[in-house]
Amino acid sequence: MKTFKGFMREGSGFPTSSAAEPSNNLAGSVEINPSSLGDPAVVKRLNSIVGQIGNGEYLLPEHALNRLRGSLQKIGISFAAIPTMEGKSGSFNLKLELFGGRFGKDGNTPIDEFLDDDGISHMVEGGLSLKINYEMMPTNNSCRVFASIA
């Protein structure tokens, strides 16, 4: 008969890995914090995730961006409402926020002022934005969406 401790040691139901093979998370590695957007390696990995949106065709371009929104929200990145996409093609930029932005005080804020920003601009000068290009396919009336973070 197995002991409880032995049963738990055999299989906890959670994936495990050795130190030589770390498990992957959304950013690709447990050694890199996906919300550390000041690190160029993180932005590169996020761009590979965001770039996957261009591999599919969608009935409406809004569907692609809502799917992308869900993927980015898993690590705390959000963007504003999606503008109406009219015409055969177009492009626009959406400002990104990390954890809904920052409001309050830090060590450098004067006593009579509040800190209010996007949560990214203190790590990356000017913050980051999601660049979206879309085009309607003439053959089957579907839409291709291409995105990148810059």
- Domain layout of the chain by residue ranges: 58-150
Q: What is the pLDDT of residue 30?
A: 60
Q: What is the pLDDT of residue 149?
A: 94
Give all strands (DSSP E) within 24-128, no chain letters. 57-58, 77-79, 89-98, 102-104, 115-117
> What 3-state class would DSSP assign to 147?
strand
Q: What is the pLDDT of residue 13?
A: 55
- The per-residue pLDDT string of the chain (150 residues; one tens digit each, 9 = 90 and over) reads 778 887 777 765 544 444 444 444 444 556 778 878 888 988 999 999 899 988 888 988 899 999 999 999 998 999 999 998 888 999 999 999 999 999 999 888 898 999 889 999 989 999 999 999 999 988 888 999 999 999
- Claim: this prediction has a pTM higher than 0.85: no
Q: What is the pLDDT of residue 35?
A: 79
At CB < 8 A and 24+ separation, what contacts does 66-73 make? 68/130, 68/147, 71/26, 72/46, 72/96
- Element housing 129 (H / E): strand 129-136
